[in-house]
Amino acid sequence: MTTILVVHLPTSRKFLLIGASTPGLAAVCDAEGAMHWLPAEELKVFEYDGRPIERYRYMLEPAASPAPTPTPTPKSSEVWEDVPLEACPACETPVRQDTRECPSCGLTLILEQD
Ligand SMILES: [Zn+2]
């Protein structure tokens, strides 16, 4: 029988973990054997099978670190990805469909409307 001891973080009270249910509730019992249902995220295992949880740390997943902030992609390259490329009719340099002038040969690709 595996014993799992948990500490209830908000109160620092220690319990024996009995079981869990969905969603995220853990059944624990106190020193008197009284059962409590506590939110799993408020519990932290500190002892498993008679050993401090630190003993298992090396084989466990590291604590979830906050999601890394996504590196903002430079807008220009994003736009570049979205717009299909066309070959310049004169020099065949790949140019965006909305490019007005070929950067290579200077050919006007889109005539100003107005
Ligand atoms: Zn060109």
Tell how far the Cα of 97 is from the centroid of ligand 1, in angstroms: 13
Tell how far the Cα of 29 is from the centroid of ligand 1, in angstroms: 77
Q: To 5 degrees, how large is the angle CA 100–CA 79–CA 102? A: 25
Tell whether 45 and 91 lie within a shared domain: no
Does residue 54 lie within any of the structural domains?
A: yes
Domain that holds residue 49: 4-59
Tell whether 49 and 93 lie within a shared domain: no
Q: In angstroms, what CA-CA distances link 48 with 10, 16, 66, 69, 85? A: 20, 10, 26, 34, 59
pLDDT digit string (tens) for 6-36? 999 999 999 999 988 777 899 999 999 999 9
Tell how far the Cα of 114 is from the centroid of ligand 1, in angstroms: 24
Does residue 73 lie within any of the structural domains?
A: no
What global pTM score does this model have? 0.51
In this structure, the number of other CB atoms found within 10 A of the CB of residue 36 comes to 14
Does residue 26 lie within any of the structural domains?
A: yes
Tell whether 8 and 55 lie within a shared domain: yes
Domain count, the chain: 2
Does residue 109 lie within any of the structural domains?
A: yes
What 8-state DSSP symbol labels residue 93? -
